[in-house]
Chains A and B, each alone.
Chain A
Amino acid sequence: AQSVTQLGSHVSVSEGALVLLRCNYSSSVPPYLFWYVQYPNQGLQLLLKYTTGATLVKGINGFEAEFKKSETSFHLTKPSAHMSDAAEYFCAVSRAWGGGADGLTFGKGTHLIIQP
């Protein structure tokens, strides 16, 4: 069985400050890890994913995440927050490469608030 825990249902940062969204997972097999972003009243957009290889993954919009097997973590960071980053962020884990077959297991989400 797999599970994902996102620490903090709401995170507030000032514009220009570091963004850190935490994600811890559990998986009985080597995991594939994903971060998705959801803007209000929209669907989900993939920010980045870890499958194999380099543990530091760069995504769109200046976000990156580091896979740490020893800590079972996949935290999302961005050096400097922008107002347009305000959204809901979901961490997800899958046993399958593309997140396919039996789908993704999602965390409960973190609402990122950007203060001007």
Chain B
Amino acid sequence: NAGVTQTPKFQVLKTGQSMTLQCAQDMNHEYMSWYRQDPGMGLRLIHYSVGAGITDQGEVPNGYNVSRSTTEDFPLRLLSAAPSQTSVYFCASSTSELAGVSNEQFFGPGTRLTVL
């Protein structure tokens, strides 16, 4: 298994540009999440999904859009990038409690985004 994969690893955008951060997992996990990591702030939840077709907002959703058309993929869209969105973005996935397996959230390697 590749686990959780994210592309690209690095990205530089200009203010106002749009882009999509890709996230995929091959573990058949129901739950997927997006976090951003900023110095001294820890990780903060942006959006999450409990299954295909179901998404919800986390702590810091403004400026981001998500969709979940398949179990495997959970892309994060920046509609109009702003310098405040400069951050490292992590995608994570885990099984649901109903799966009956005590599991952890598996994190991808991250995407480092700079908005000029």
Contact = CB atoms under 8 A, between A and B. Distances in A.
Contact of B110 (A43, A46, A106): A43
A98 B35 contact: no
A101 B94 CA distance: 8
A107 B97 CA distance: 23
A116 interface: no
Interface in A65-116: 90, 92, 96-109
Contacts of B110: 42-43
Interface size class, chain B: 20 to 34
B107 A44 contact: yes
Contacts of B61: none
A40 to B, nearest CB: 12
Interface in B91-116: 92, 94-97, 101-105, 107-110
21 contacts: A9-B40, A42-B110, A43-B107, A43-B108, A43-B109, A46-B105, A90-B43, A98-B96, A99-B105, A100-B30, A100-B31, A100-B97, A101-B48, A101-B96, A101-B97, A103-B35, A103-B58, A104-B43, A106-B35, A106-B42, A108-B40
Interface of B: 29-31, 33, 35, 40-45, 48, 50, 56, 58, 90, 92, 94-97, 101-105, 107-110
A97 B104 CA distance: 8
Given A43-B109, A98-B103, A100-B31, A109 B48 contact: no
Contact of A34 (B45, B104, B109): B104
Nearest to A46: B104
B31 to A, nearest CB: 4
Contacts of A105: 45
A108 B42 contact: yes
Interface in A30-54: 34, 36, 42-46, 49, 51
A102 B94 CA distance: 11
A49 B104 contact: yes
Nearest to B50: A101
Contacts of A45: 107
Nearest to A49: B104
